[in-house]
Structure 1
Amino acid sequence: MKRRPLKKVGEILIERGVITLEQLAKGLEEQKRVSASLGASLIRLGYVDYKTLEKVLGDELEKLEYKKLGEMLLENKVISTLQLAEALSIQKKEEKNKHIGEILIERKYLTSQQLFDVLSLQFDVKSVELDNFLFKEEALNLLPYELMCELKVIPLQKTPTHVLIATADPFNFNLMKQVERVLKMAVEPVFAKSESISLSLQKRFSVTIGGEASPSLRDIARQSGSGEKKDDLRNLVHMIIEQAITENASFVHIEPSGSGYSIRFRIDGKLHVESPVQGQLADDLVDHLKETANLSTANRRTMQTGHFLFPIGGRSIACKLTSIPVLTGFETFREKLVVKVLQQTGMLQRLDDVGFYIAVLEKYQTLLKTRQGVVLVVGPADCGITTTLYASLRHINDTGQHIATIEKTIDCFIEGVTQTQIDQVRGLGFKEMLKSTLIEDADAVMIGRVDDAEIARLALQIAMSGRMILAGMACSDATSVYAMLKEKGVENYLLSAGISGILGQRLVRKICGQCRESFTPPSELIDGLGLRHNTAFFRGRGCPACNFSGFKGRIGLFELFIPDETLKHSIATGLSAEEIRRIAVHNGMNTLRMDGLKKALEGITTIEQVLGTTPKDSDLPF
């Protein structure tokens, strides 16, 4: 939305003689320090009180209403001239006590969000989308549930100086004073849609089943002793999994803790603590989940794995459950459960959505089109290999060829692809199933993970017969694959002739676009990277949109190694991995760290994320 150069809060207060220029400067410093609005910062410093601020801003809002608002809405193309004229006519003839904004909303020419967006430009109030907001238990416990429903507010974050409060009425200073009296702390309002607040309160604290409200997740989780209802247990499981899916968690960890279980969600690579489950209900929760995944509840001494489907929003989400026996005392065994949410929205992505720069993307797509040789996707655990493999399958999938997969666990089903899952109990391991692809006439085969020399050697031999093998592998970078496979006993001639290309990758956290800011890092870091001293990097301050982490989502870093015929010949004669990498970089390969540095300079991620996840390039300053 285009910003109109209107008076800001500080300007207005100085014009009215409420604060001095010196106080404004200190208020701006405080605003930056605690990431709050200027008005709240001035109140916190004692330069202005709520009553004065409310009156001054109320007067300004009234002036804005009659002199500026319509003009601002027109300039930002939110309404048309005819719609504004109609609203002014109605106000003059019928609704003299109503604001223009109210009339436009009633006529459905304007939404409350659009109106707020315009007003927030003037008064510097933040907004938050609550649909996927990761609520913090510490903040939610600050206010009684009944009061939150009555006032339509939700505490979002507690800081040493104030509490951030979501409200649909951020300009209601009396409301904020009421919340402050209960909290005995200063508050900072952020705008949220009224319907989102109601829905979030309902979803977070209660679930309605059969027309009756069931106990909240927090209440159920705290129950102990006997007499829990089966419905409570079912509701608890439903709430945990639904919340994990809603918040885009990839894993749910249910771990023994004291007499109960702690619950943590992995979101964007980091674990977030949720409400613990206490008492008998904790053990019942473990058994209920195991039964849901068809696992034995009697067997608590061996690891078990199963699957279940979770219905939500008219679709079913596939989940994988693993139970792991853990020692919690001398010869005392309990179980840890890990739920992997398999079919999240982001699993089957397009290649151009995962973070490739266009030059690398085009080379990788060309490599996939050759339809022969082994193409490896490599990196450590949780670096997005599965996502890239599935995106690659999606890219090559067409009716003119037969594509098969051999997977330890099928994470996502793709129409038109023959997908198989290994079963060691029945003698169907990677080796046996890879051999079967020759019989079933597969043009391309995806192997979820190459773990040993036998599988690697077999894959290379099949690829040399004219098929394409797409496989994942645990390795630090693209060129280290050769040394790793040679150490396992794979011959140089197979590595040379069989490997068409290797994609190395990492995942880094993306800076939140709502609170991104530039900064100049310490000179020693700049010197270490070989950059100019005025080079700026970026970081996230933390805001409601990113749950105050400064990050939102993840993106891939990539290096693509495609050996030419000259290099293949050298590999066949035993060229070292170090020399292979040196030649690859000399020939134009951008390394993982180079790719990350470029994304850091562009404000996509932080330099700390890049340096912390990518291997150092030995022949470069960084």
Structure 2
Amino acid sequence: MVLTNGRPAIGGRHSATPTPDRTPTAARPAITQDARSPMPRMFLTTTDGSGREFPMGEKPITIGRSPENVLSVNDTLLSRFHCVVEPAPSRPKGDTFSVDETGTTEAATWHLRDLGSRNGTRLNGVRVTDSILRPGDVIKIGTHSFIVQAEESLAERQSAARDAAATAASGGAQARVPDPVWVIDVTEMINMLPPRNSGADDRLELIDGRGRSSGALASDSEGSRAVRLLLLAASKARATDIHLEPRGDCMQARMRVDGQMLSVVQIPNGVGDLVYGLIKTACQMRPTGREAVLDGHFSAKFPADATGSARRVDYRVSFTPSVHGQKLVIRVLDMRDSPRSLTELGLAPYMYDRVRKVCEQEAGMLLVCGPTGSGKTTTLYNALRVIDREARNVITIEDPVEYHLEGVTQIPIDDNKGNTFGSLLRSVLRQDPDVILLGEIRDEETARTAMQAAVTGHLVFSTVHAKDTMSSVFRLIDLKVEPYLVANSLELVLAQRLVRVLCDNCKRPIRVTPGQATRMGRFLEGQTELYTATGCAQCLRTGFRGRRAIYELLDFTDELRDVIIKDPTIAAMKRVIEQGLFTTLVQSGWVLAARGITTLDEVDRVATSR
């Protein structure tokens, strides 16, 4: 961490707690202001071992990202004005001691007060809003820590450090070095996420890019420890991506959780370099310069969980050059939290019945649309699971192959070798396929070939980037596919988005407003309360934990086919669609909001057209 006012970086942990006076209360003399000893000087001390001290005087010490603070800290987890250390209120001037109910005198003349920060202020591991400070207390804000020290405690600590150095020099036993702050931060995150305190077992088995087991994560080196902790944190947070970004003075670790980027911890550059080396070795990457773009993959085997079963997680790795060095992104391919069947997708009953019926057909096309990361591939994989893969020849063409399916021939594209979607699709049609999953329709050749296959006796699944079901139809027409071919090949178009699910531990009910009731109509399902996000440790203060899909299904009836062939306009299509059973993406989201699964704001964020 860097203090923007020129003060040094902050990191480690110390402890110094004064020994309380055990003299019985009756034996203590009465304390008057004149009889008291002068107040010991107090300091806020950095925990990186540098011993940098910030005197606690009569003026408040504000801490935050803004340069206007007394301590301006460059940390994205901090608010602009995060907290303040200030003299205790309502105490007579010069009254520097307090007496508790046992008669113990202590220097308790300063308060720690949170200033409404978004990530909170912790005192000795507990989140506080206003608390008295005493010597030995540890203040934790963002990725950084301070310890409250009395002048005599500082002297004792320096003496202890000299004694430890002398002991080590003489060959004696040396005390265990405290964990660095970044280790404490990630470990705390792992232990706070549900299931609570289940992250202590960090025994992971690394499997390299060739499928061979490696002992690289078994050592206690800082690099191995960092990789283990990051993989465990990503697993418990259900992250889809891990980012390690060079920032000049450190490396920032972030994760994409439920579609949103969250800062996790700042790692020293030296540790980050060790992580890079270990990941490159695991991916079997050849030594190259920092300007190279590198791609690879590896896996990790996690120990048995509460269900008694171990699991393997695959990771896709990308290195790319940046101003301060290479940036690392690790895509997490963990099937644990993904739907495993068509019934687990959360489709409305009429949607489920229609999709399943199409999966049992001999020919036709099921097209899924949505932006990147909306769960399209997961939906198509679960559609494939409905198919009898023993009785039918199922082939997929993907970029890349993300998950392995039993009984399916999966082919990755490789543009460098000329294996594009179009060329591989033409080749696959000579492989006697019954069912073809085409990862994406990107161009005219692929679109026309796929649709011709769908009308000539093949069942084709594919995806396209479009905002909703009707837009998908016009996307295909824009690719110069004839309207009659679009109309006759398509059976269903399914649009989908992923909305975040409210955290059950902290979601809060709110009254439905008249405006919301009017807008939602029958999709409110008679509810008088909706729910809003609050935020707690179990959801990383986001208010959400997990995601769920919302859907829009366009069924191709004879009437709709006639419109597409004769008059392919949005207005004409809407007139036909409104005559049948049709639910928009937003309306599907309203149903989840009415049931307390998500919020109206979340539905608007992901599903409202812009």
TM-score, length basis structure 1: 0.62
User: Deviations for 1:192-236, whole angstroms, at most 9, x for unmatched residues?
Assistant: 99x987654x45xx8799xxxxxxxxxxxxxxxxxxx99322232
Any conservation in 2 of the 1:504–1:560 contact (CA below 8 Å)? yes
- 1:293 aligns to what? 283
- 2:570 aligns to what? 577
**1:590/1:571 Cα in 2 relative to 1: closer, same or farther (>3 Å)?**
same
Amino acid of the structure 1 residue aligned with 2:225: N
Task: Confirm whether residue 393 of structure 1 aligns to residue 351 of structure 2.
Answer: no
Task: Confirm whether residue 280 of structure 1 aligns to residue 273 of structure 2.
Answer: no
- 2:259 aligns to what? 269
CA distance in 2, matches of 1:449, 1:299: 33
CA distance in 1, matches of 2:533, 2:135: 28
Q: Secondary structure at the match of 1:308?
A: strand
Amino acid of the structure 2 residue aligned with 1:293: C
Task: Confirm whether residue 443 of structure 1 aligns to residue 431 of structure 2.
Answer: no
Task: Confirm whether residue 373 of structure 1 aligns to residue 369 of structure 2.
Answer: no
Paired-residue identity, %: 25
Spell out the pairing of 1:454-603 with structure 2 (5 A cutoff).
454-529=445-520, 535-603=528-596
**1:268/1:611 Cα in 2 relative to 1: closer, same or farther (>3 Å)?**
same
**1:180/1:247 Cα in 2 relative to 1: closer, same or farther (>3 Å)?**
farther
CA distance in 2, matches of 1:517, 1:251: 29
**1:374/1:542 Cα in 2 relative to 1: closer, same or farther (>3 Å)?**
same
* Counterpart pick for 2:244 among 239, 250, 254: 254
Task: Confirm whether residue 359 of structure 1 aligns to residue 350 of structure 2.
Answer: yes
- 2:443 aligns to what? 452
Shift of 1:346: 2.6
Shift of 1:579: 2.7
Unaligned stretches of 5+ residues in structure 1: 1-49, 52-135, 144-154, 163-176, 186-191, 210-228, 329-333, 618-622
User: Deviations for 1:356-377, whole angstroms, at most 9, x for unmatched residues?
Assistant: 1222211221122223111111
Shift of 1:537: 1.7
Shift of 1:431: 1.2
Spell out the pairing of 1:191-340 with structure 2 (5 A cutoff).
200=199, 202=200, 231-313=221-303, 314-328=310-324, 334-340=325-331
Q: Secondary structure at the match of 2:390?
A: coil
Q: Secondary structure at the match of 1:559?
A: strand
Task: Confirm whether residue 408 of structure 1 aligns to residue 399 of structure 2.
Answer: yes
Moved segments of 4+, more than 6 Å: 136-141, 177-181, 195-198, 206-209, 531-534
Shift of 1:548: 4.0
Shift of 1:245: 2.0
Any conservation in 2 of the 1:450–1:471 contact (CA below 8 Å)? yes
Shift of 1:298: 1.1
* Counterpart pick for 1:158 among 124, 127, 135: 127
Spell out the pairing of 1:55-74 with structure 2 (5 A cutoff).
none
Any conservation in 1 of the 2:364–2:460 contact (CA below 8 Å)? yes
Q: Secondary structure at the match of 2:279?
A: helix
**1:568/1:138 Cα in 2 relative to 1: closer, same or farther (>3 Å)?**
closer
User: Deviations for 1:383-436, whole angstroms, at most 9, x for unmatched residues?
Assistant: 111211111111224311111111111111111111111112222111121112
Amino acid of the structure 1 residue aligned with 2:319: S
Unaligned stretches of 5+ residues in structure 2: 1-99, 102-116, 141-190, 206-218, 304-309
Shift of 1:458: 0.9
Any conservation in 2 of the 1:406–1:447 contact (CA below 8 Å)? yes
Any conservation in 2 of the 1:287–1:297 contact (CA below 8 Å)? no
Shift of 1:252: 0.5
Q: Secondary structure at the match of 2:351?
A: helix
- 2:83 aligns to what? none
**1:371/1:536 Cα in 2 relative to 1: closer, same or farther (>3 Å)?**
farther
**1:581/1:323 Cα in 2 relative to 1: closer, same or farther (>3 Å)?**
farther
**1:574/1:256 Cα in 2 relative to 1: closer, same or farther (>3 Å)?**
farther
CA distance in 2, matches of 1:599, 1:322: 36
Any conservation in 1 of the 2:204–2:301 contact (CA below 8 Å)? no
Shift of 1:263: 0.8
CA distance in 2, matches of 1:390, 1:596: 23
Shift of 1:302: 4.5
The structure in which a higher percent of residues are strand is: 2
Any conservation in 1 of the 2:397–2:410 contact (CA below 8 Å)? yes
Any conservation in 1 of the 2:121–2:128 contact (CA below 8 Å)? no
- 1:604 aligns to what? 597
Spell out the pairing of 1:34-53 with structure 2 (5 A cutoff).
none
Any conservation in 1 of the 2:447–2:479 contact (CA below 8 Å)? no
User: Deviations for 1:95-131, whole angstroms, at most 9, x for unmatched residues?
Assistant: xxxxxxxxxxxxxxxxxxxxxxxxxxxxxxxxxxxxx
Q: Secondary structure at the match of 1:320?
A: strand
Amino acid of the structure 2 residue aligned with 1:558: Y
Q: Secondary structure at the match of 2:467?
A: coil
What's the Cα RMSD here?
3.5
Any conservation in 2 of the 1:376–1:503 contact (CA below 8 Å)? yes
Q: Secondary structure at the match of 1:575?
A: coil
Q: Secondary structure at the match of 1:374?
A: strand
Amino acid of the structure 1 residue aligned with 2:362: R
Shift of 1:525: 4.5
CA distance in 2, matches of 1:528, 1:348: 31
**1:582/1:179 Cα in 2 relative to 1: closer, same or farther (>3 Å)?**
farther
Q: Secondary structure at the match of 2:572?
A: helix
Shift of 1:554: 0.9
Shift of 1:467: 0.4
Task: Confirm whether residue 382 of structure 1 aligns to residue 382 of structure 2.
Answer: no
TM-score, length basis structure 2: 0.63
Question: Which shifted more, 529-538 or 562-571?
Answer: 529-538
Any conservation in 1 of the 2:240–2:333 contact (CA below 8 Å)? yes
- 1:349 aligns to what? 340
Spell out the pairing of 1:7-156 with structure 2 (5 A cutoff).
142-143=123-124, 155=125
Any conservation in 2 of the 1:593–1:616 contact (CA below 8 Å)? no
Q: Secondary structure at the match of 1:459?
A: helix
- 1:427 aligns to what? 418
Q: Secondary structure at the match of 1:445?
A: strand
CA distance in 1, matches of 2:298, 2:204: 23
User: Deviations for 1:461-506, whole angstroms, at most 9, x for unmatched residues?
Assistant: 1111110111122110011111112122221121111111100001
Any conservation in 1 of the 2:451–2:486 contact (CA below 8 Å)? yes
Any conservation in 2 of the 1:343–1:411 contact (CA below 8 Å)? no
Any conservation in 1 of the 2:366–2:461 contact (CA below 8 Å)? yes
User: Deviations for 1:65-108, whole angstroms, at most 9, x for unmatched residues?
Assistant: xxxxxxxxxxxxxxxxxxxxxxxxxxxxxxxxxxxxxxxxxxxx
CA distance in 2, matches of 1:428, 1:274: 39
